[in-house]
Homo-oligomer: A and B are copies of this chain.
């Protein structure tokens, strides 16, 4: 009998694989490849998923996490999602980290670390700020190699003019 919680390493990897697939699709549209999935922790159901759409939508706020959080809030009919976990292929930036806190997300799993733009393990380390109103649990480095490779390939191809 499999009694492993939905947040076991294996399950986390599965949701992250879905986020990676979303990120890959985004790259094909010329978007920076970042994907995000919101999961209802109790049931393991994927409530919302999204990839980066800043260029497609011409929207500076259209990061994968923001779009997934907005969709999850819409689906569940509440601006706060304390029963949900977020899986995202890249360490969230300050905008997304703050949105995650506003949404009261239970746990954040992220893939690649982002020393330049990240705001969880880098920069302002938002969840460690004394003024933060909600501190989710954080698991970094899930499927790190695959998540990072996607971004590296995307930017390398752009530099080579193939993007």
Interface flags, A69-110, vs B, CB<8A=1, else 0? 110011001111100000000000111111100111000000
Bound-complex Cα distance A93 to B134 (A): 14
Collect the chain B residues with CB atoms within 8 Å of residue A130's CB.
123
Q: Does A163 contact B (CB under 8 A)?
A: no
Q: Does A159 contact B (CB under 8 A)?
A: no
B133 contacts A129, CB within 8 Å? no
- Contacts A116-B131, A126-B94, A126-B124 hold; do A59 and B70 have CB atoms under 8 A apart? yes
- Contacts A61-B70, A73-B59, A94-B124 hold; do A79 and B54 have CB atoms under 8 A apart? yes
Instruction: Work out how many copies of this chain go into the complex.
Output: 2
Chain A interface residue count, Cβ-Cβ cutoff 8 angstroms:
39
Collect the chain B residues with CB atoms within 8 Å of residue A42's CB.
none
Q: Does A143 contact B (CB under 8 A)?
A: no
Collect the chain B residues with CB atoms within 8 Å of residue A122's CB.
131
B94 contacts A77, CB within 8 Å? no
Q: Which residues from chain A sit less than 8 Å from chain B, CB to CB? A: 54-55, 57-62, 66, 69-70, 73-74, 77-81, 93-99, 102-104, 116-117, 119, 122-124, 126, 129-131, 133
